């Protein structure tokens, strides 16, 4: 147990890195994923195809392979970023595919009459989607989006395999230093992740209750 108190500074630093990866990638993935979902329901067939291909490609690629591609492929495109920035790119690109699916499932839960009403007063596709459908879809989409963010919180650990010293890398380093305290270290850091997951799911429950409208 003592090891957790002795090394608390390192553990807190690790989780700070994890939280940065989570928040930045989460925000980018949400924006990109929502745009992809809009493309998938747009009237232009080319955009449908791009949205669908994106989802099929990135949902079916292991995150590790995507990390290899982004970390070592981007420099070949003469794009130079730090490892942290490239980790954010890999996580965002991957998570956006799941956000897209969650938002699209939300779009499908909005009653068809809402979109028909919007169209009947002359709204265009962009207006119908942006002003009528998406605001309602986001309410229905809170629980599945929370699952996506929880998955993202855990996926940030993959960056540990590529030289980012976030929480899981911290665990690995501390384990190598002090194999005797392995169990305490594992439980201590696991509880950190449990806490992050608990915060996300509590937040989603609160939002869900707040946004619940009587229809």
Partner 1 sequence: MGGVTMSSVLFDVPGPRARARHRLIGAITALVLLAGLALAIWRLYENNQFEYEKWEPFVTPAIVQDLWSGLLVTLQIAVVSIVFANIFGMLFAVGRLSDHWLISWPCFVVVEFFRAVPVLMMVFFLSIKYASEIGKFWVIVIPLILYNGSVLAEVFRAGILAVPKGQLEAGSSIGLRKYQLMTIILIPQAVTAMLPAIISQCVVALKDSALAFVIPFDEIVSVGNDIRNEFHNSFATAIVLAVVFIVINYSLSRLAIWVERRVARRGRTALKNAPVVPGAGVGDQ
Q: Which residues between 167 and 206 bind partner 1 (CB under 8 A)?
A: 167-168, 171-172, 175-176, 179, 182, 186, 189-190, 193-194, 196-198
Pick from 83, 108, 202, 212 the residue near partner 1 by CB under 8 A: 108
Site string for partner 1, 129-168 (x = CB under 8 A): x---x---------xx--xx-xx--xxxxx-xx-----xx
Measured from the CB atom, the residue of 4 and 175 that comes closer to partner 1 is 175
Q: Which residues of 146-156 are buried (b: 16+ CB within 10 A; e: fewer)?
A: bebbbebbebb
Give CA–CA dist 74/116, Å, rounded: 44
Residues contacting partner 1: total by CB under 8 A: 74
**Minimum gap (Å) between residue 90 Cβ and partner 1:** 11
Strand ranges for the chain from DSSP E? none
Binding mask 54-93 for partner 1 (x = CB under 8 A): -xxx-xxxxxxxx-xx-xxx--xxx---------------
Q: Which of residues 109-128 bind partner 1 (CB under 8 A)?
A: 110, 112, 115-116, 119, 124-125, 128
Under the binding rule (CB under 8 A), the answer on residue 19 touching partner 1 is: no
- Least Å from the CB of residue 167 to partner 1: 8
Quote the CA–CA distance of 91 and 24 in Å, as a whole number: 10
CB of 169 to partner 1, least distance (A): 9
Contact positions with partner 1 (CB under 8 A) in 36-55:
40-41, 43-47, 50, 52, 55
Query: Closest by alpha carbon to 147, among 93, 106, 204, 96?
Result: 204
Nearer to partner 1, 72 or 211 (CB): 72
d(CA 104, CA 144): 11
Given the complex with partner 1, which of 88 and 141 has the nearer CB atom? 141
96 and 58 in contact (C-beta within 8 Å)? yes
Closest CA to 37 of 117, 140, 119: 140
The set of residues, in sequence order, having a beta carbon less than 8 Å from that of 16 and lying 6+ positions away, is none
User: CA-CA distance, 33 to 39, in Å (whole number)?
Assistant: 10
């Amino acid at each position: 147990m003592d090891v957790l108190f002795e090394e608390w500074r390192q553990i807190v630093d690790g989780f700070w890195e994890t939280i940065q990866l989570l928040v930045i990638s989460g925000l980018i993935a949400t924006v990109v994923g929502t745009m992809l979902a809009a493309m998938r329901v747009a009237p232009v067939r080319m955009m449908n195809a791009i949205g669908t291909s994106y989802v099929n490609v990135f949902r079916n690629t292991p995150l590790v392979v995507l990390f290899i591609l982004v970390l070592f492929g981007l420099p070949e495109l003469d794009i130079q970023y730090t490892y942290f920035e490239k980790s954010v790119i890999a996580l965002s690109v991957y998570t956006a595919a799941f956000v897209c699916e969650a938002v699209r499932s939300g779009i499908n839960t909005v009653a068809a009459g809402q979109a028909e009403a919007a169209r009947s007063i002359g709204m265009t596709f962009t207006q119908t989607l942006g002003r009528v459908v998406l605001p309602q879809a986001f309410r229905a989409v809170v629980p599945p989006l929370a699952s996506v963010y929880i998955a993202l919180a855990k996926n940030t650990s993959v960056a540990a395999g590529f030289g980012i010293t976030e929480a899981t890398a911290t665990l690995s380093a501390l384990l190598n230093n002090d194999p005797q305290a392995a169990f305490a270290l594992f439980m201590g850091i696991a509880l950190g992740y449990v806490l992050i997951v608990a915060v996300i799911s509590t937040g989603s429950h609160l939002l869900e209750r707040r946004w619940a409208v009587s229809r």
